[in-house]
Amino acid sequence: MPAAIVARTAAAFTVQVEIHYASSMLDFEEAIQQGLNEAGVLATTEALRRFDADGSPIQVGDTRLTSKGKLVKEYQTPYGVAPVERHVYQSSRGGRTYCPLDREARIVVSSTPKFAKMVSHKYAEFGSARVIKDLAENHGRTVARCFVQDVTDAVATVALAKQEDWEYALPELPETPPTITIGMDGTCLLMCEGGWRETMVGTIGFYDAEGDRQHTIYLAATPEYGKATFLDRMGREIERVKAAYPQARYVGLADGAKGNWDFLGRHTEAQVIDFWHAAEYLGDAAGVLFARSPDAKRAWLESCCHRLKHEPGASRRLIKDLRRMAAEKGVSPDHEDLAATITYFTNQSKAGRMDYPPLVASNVPIGSGVTEAACKVLVKQRLCGSGMKWKEPGAAAVLSLRCLTYTTERWGQFWARIDRCGFPVAA
């Protein structure tokens, strides 16, 4: 017996579904899911009808619209396809039609909002082929690839259009963060036009007094010359955070790319070169100075890293040590790895970006690992699969969704805004 509505009141309705026993638990669970999906379609159909107009003439702006009668539309839901007869309106002069149900129920293309939220979240994680397989295997839903693409494009269009206008609330943190870090980095993305190009990623990290990260805001932008769009978005996000936490200490964290520091210098009171990048340079120099003594190399490198973290002025003394040791060991100071390390330490130390000891003592982060991880998570894991090439709109769509889904609470806030103002209005 198929699922059926067996009772209705003014406030609710009751759905009855029959589940047949099965010989194995797995078959039993499959039967349960099928039955619940049937009940879900029936309940969704009932719910959708409540958002329809009654057929009376309506006014949209300055235009009077009248109903052309009820026409059937198939709505995609988390449970299956729900065919619904609903009023379609048009003006006496013809032109575009208008469907009150689609507007009031927040329909996205042909999908209910819950299903559009599911599909676009899955597409943010993996490609359309995997989305289709996941829906079939785990939800008992069969959909076309064009449906996945159309719904995701529609959702991403709103995310991109509203990223400047919609302000997302920060989560309630256990304590006011004494330190907030601003991180920037770039990673390469293969574009259909222009080949491999740099995609910018930014993070805003909130840290407690012990140096533990409480929250992270993720941002990313498709490749662009000059990075103006990304920097504008990053700047607006920083200003919103500063308005919420004006007493926090703002620290800029990045690698040695010169372009990052101009921006970070305007928005943070202290700028710090990523400690692990500095350690890598020391490792390269150690490989030259202790080429034939791995144990000595390891001991020297550990000592240098400890000094760099805990001894004030260690970076400047390490420069002198590198030159002295090169002379003692007969190594040319122009050796590529040694010269690069000395130049790196000279430039960053002079700029005041290697003053690690007071930061370590105050539990302030000195590594940009959060931002580097964001490059992998936001960009590499999703957009750099085997054979992948992207056009700008497609890459922008995926990045916008991933920034929302990976920043705690933003995905829910995004859909709450759509639920309040309506999907067509937002789009």
Q: What is the mean pLDDT of residues 190-206?
A: 94
330 conformational bin, left if phi > 0, alpha if psi -120 to 50, beta if neither? left
Beta-ladder partners of 271: 252
Percent of the chain beyond pLDDT 70?
99
Distance in angstroms (rounded) separating the CA atoms of residues 142 and 134: 10
Q: What are phi and psi of 183, to 5 degrees?
A: -120, 145
Res 161: pLDDT: 87
3-state secondary structure at position 309: helix
For 218-265, write each residue's pLDDT tens digit.
999 999 887 888 999 999 999 999 999 999 999 999 986 777 899 999
Distance in angstroms (rounded) separating the CA atoms of residues 42 and 36: 10
* CB proximity list for 194: less than 8 A, separation 6 or greater: 223
DSSP codes, 273-292: E-HHHHHHHHHHHHHHHTTT
Q: What is the mean pLDDT of residues 35-46?
A: 97
356 contacts 366 by C-beta, under 8 angstroms? yes
Distance in angstroms (rounded) separating the CA atoms of residues 97 and 90: 5
pLDDT band at 425 (very low <50, low <70, confident <90, very high): low
180 contacts 190 by C-beta, under 8 angstroms? no
Residue 2 has pLDDT above 90, yes or no: no
Q: What CA dihedral angle connects 202, 352, 282 and 184, to 10 degrees?
A: 10
Residue 162 has pLDDT above 90, yes or no: no
